[in-house]
Amino acid sequence: MSDYFFTESHECFKLEDGVAVVSITEYAVEQLGEITYVQLPGVNQSLSQGDSFGEIESVKTVSELYAPVAGSVSEVNADLESSPETVNDDPLGKGWLIKLKVDGEPDTSKLMDRAAYNSYLESLR
Amino acid sequence: MGTLKVTPLNARHRALGAKMVDFGGWDMPVQYHSILKEHEAVRQRAGLFDVSHMGVFDLKGPDALAAIQYLIPNDASRLTAGKGLYTQLCNPQGGTIDDLLIFCLNAEHWWLIVNAGNRDKDFEWIASQLTGFDAQLSSLADNTGIIALQGPSAADILSRICELDLNPVSLPAFSIRATEIQGHKVMLSRSGYTGEDGFEIYVPYAQIEAVWDSLLTAGQTDGLEPVGLGARDTLRLEAAMPLYGHELDDQTSPLSAGLGWSVKLQKAADFIGKQALITEKEQGLTKVRVGFVLEGKRAPRQDYTLWLDDQQIGVVTSGSLSPSLGYPIGMGYIQLQAGQELPESFDVDIRGQRHPARRVKLPFYKRS
């Protein structure tokens, strides 16, 4: 059972058998407000760390989604097309965005663990 | 920078769990729980808004009407005590300094209700134009707050705690009365910014918390909810009401903005911007406010561009996924050469992708 790794742009992932399950954080959801649309990439698309993989729209704003880790898209959360609000309700669970098949060990050198991310959030408040 | 300004209801918003944001230097509630639910409350039942950040100016004196006639393109000469209208302040080039409501309290006493972000600018502008008029301008903005009660149940709710006859025949749109709400003296107008029936209630700071509480209590059984600025924006967008800084600015005339119905070029009195507006009308508008709808769920937003084939023809000023209609709606300006017709359809560039849009008649939403 691995814990999450976080980006400064508020994406995060956890590893499950070499697959990174990518979400946005609870803080991101709180900032966005009610989510109305999520645009996700096609399966098999290969992403480098930091690549844009989609966009997320809320009533108030729109923002880009960045890959927290390199990999190829093995699955996208198709439920979000009809129920984007799932991201609000359960961002780290049912509201996951994409799964990335990671080659070897993921590069986490630029990422934060939960404690570091929490102090990063403190610095934003 | 510096500290945010607060309205006299700030503590109430915080106690209600509102999410507060910096809105043009004001610490204001953007939502209490949900923009979408607050929006729906106003369309289906009623919502209560704190709009105390708006400015209330008082203009008094024998020449008050003459000064107002000089300041605005609409015609206030037909207004009697208790009546008001929607208008603008224009600059000499016909651009819009602000849009506002004016109310006639009596022939020598008028109120002007201006946008929060333009309070200081408007006050200086009006004061600078009063030379030669026997009229005194003062701002009530620092001691008078405004609560808006909006929605199909607004009149029912208000009637429980206010003696005033709220029938639209006795109290039509844009009229104003002095009255009492549970013993508190207030001014009350039938007006708003949501596309629903509703009222705006002008209350001295010292009584405004009590009036806010009375209204919330009176509306409890009707599902009255406090509503933040997030839903205020989606409500006014569906009703196609312009928002200063989006659809209006000092480069944009009320004619361009589709507000020609409120511009009385025939009125006897001269007014600031009259010549420019007459010329603009004669030569034809070079840009026109339009409304449009999109397929899918992606919202058009301010500054997105409008395209006809490979030519940029305009820009988006406001947009959202419409909470009431369920599809994306937007307003913007399309540039026109003299004699050109507005296109029926065009594309919106949403972050690098073209999305086909269809022009529609405004407003998007009209109450039944």
CATH number of the CATH domain containing A64: 2.40.50.100
Cβ contacts of A35 within 8 Å, gap of 6 or more = A29, A56, A57, A58, A84, A85, A87, A88
pLDDT of B13 over the 70 cut:
yes
What is the predicted pLDDT for the residue at A2?
A: 59
Question: To the nearest 10°, the Cα dihedral for B53, B58, B59, B61?
Answer: -170
Taking CA–CA distances from A55, the nearest residue in chain B reads: B351
For the whole prediction, is pTM greater than 0.80? yes
> pLDDT exceeding 90 applies to what percent of chain B?
97
The 10 Å Cβ neighbour count of residue B360 is 15
Question: Per residue in B289-330, pLDDT tens?
Answer: 999 999 999 999 999 999 999 999 999 999 999 999 999 999
Helix (H) or strand (E) holding B197: none
The distance of B303 to chain A (nearest Cα, Å) reads 13
Q: In this complex, is the C-beta atom of B323 within 8 Å of any C-beta atom belonging to chain A?
A: yes
Confidence band, pLDDT 50/70/90 cuts, at residue B1: low
* Interface-testing mutation among B32, B38, B351, with chain A (most A C-beta atoms within 10 A): B351
Containing domain of residue A14, as a range? 5-124
The 10 Å Cβ neighbour count of residue B268 is 8
Q: In this complex, is the C-beta atom of B322 within 8 Å of any C-beta atom belonging to chain A?
A: no
What is the predicted pLDDT for the residue at A125?
A: 81
Which of A33, A36, A55 is the closest to B321 by Cβ? A36
Whether omega before B363 lies within 30 degrees of 0, making that bond cis, reads yes
Which of A39, A60, A84 is the closest to B230 by Cβ? A60
Cβ contacts of A118 within 8 Å, gap of 6 or more = none
What is the predicted pLDDT for the residue at B339?
A: 76
What is the predicted pLDDT for the residue at B9?
A: 98
Q: Are B142 and B54 in contact (CB under 8 A)?
A: no
Q: In this complex, is the C-beta atom of B52 within 8 Å of any C-beta atom belonging to chain A?
A: no
* Cα–Cα distance measured from residue A45 to residue A49, given in angstroms and rounded to the nearest whole number: 13
What is the predicted pLDDT for the residue at A45?
A: 97
Nearest to B29, CA basis, from B55, B48, B42, B1? B48
Question: Per residue in A74-116, pLDDT tens?
Answer: 999 999 999 999 999 999 999 999 999 998 889 999 999 999 9
pLDDT of B352 over the 70 cut:
yes
Q: In this complex, is the C-beta atom of B34 within 8 Å of any C-beta atom belonging to chain A?
A: yes
The distance of A111 to chain B (nearest Cα, Å) reads 27
The distance of A82 to chain B (nearest Cα, Å) reads 10
Question: Per residue in A57-75, pLDDT tens?
Answer: 999 999 999 999 999 999 9
Nearest to B119, CA basis, from B91, B89, B98, B90? B98
Q: In this complex, is the C-beta atom of A108 within 8 Å of any C-beta atom belonging to chain B?
A: no
Confidence band, pLDDT 50/70/90 cuts, at residue A1: very low
With b for 16 or more beta-carbon neighbours within 10 A and e for fewer, the B173-185 pattern comes to ebbbbebebbebe
Nearest to B56, CA basis, from B227, B241, B189, B213? B189
Q: In this complex, is the C-beta atom of A60 within 8 Å of any C-beta atom belonging to chain B?
A: yes
- Amino acid present at B229: L
* Cα–Cα distance measured from residue A123 to residue B308, given in angstroms and rounded to the nearest whole number: 45
pLDDT of B272 over the 50 cut:
yes
Q: Are B52 and B63 in contact (CB under 8 A)?
A: no
User: What is the sign, positive or negative, of the torsion defined by CA atoms of B11, B16, B19, B23?
Assistant: negative
The distance of B149 to chain A (nearest Cα, Å) reads 23
> pLDDT exceeding 70 applies to what percent of chain B?
99
What is the predicted pLDDT for the residue at A104?
A: 87
Chain B hits for A33, CB-CB cut-off 8 Å, are: 30-31, 35, 230
Query: Token pair of B260, please?
Result: 């020609």
Q: Name all domains of chain B by residue range, CATH numbers in brackets.
A: 10-54+142-238 (3.30.1360.120), 55-139 (3.30.70.1400)
Q: In this complex, is the C-beta atom of B351 within 8 Å of any C-beta atom belonging to chain A?
A: yes
Chain A hits for B298, CB-CB cut-off 8 Å, are: 37, 39, 57
> pLDDT exceeding 70 applies to what percent of chain A?
98
pLDDT of B141 over the 90 cut:
no
pLDDT of B179 over the 50 cut:
yes
Taking CA–CA distances from A63, the nearest residue in chain B reads: B351
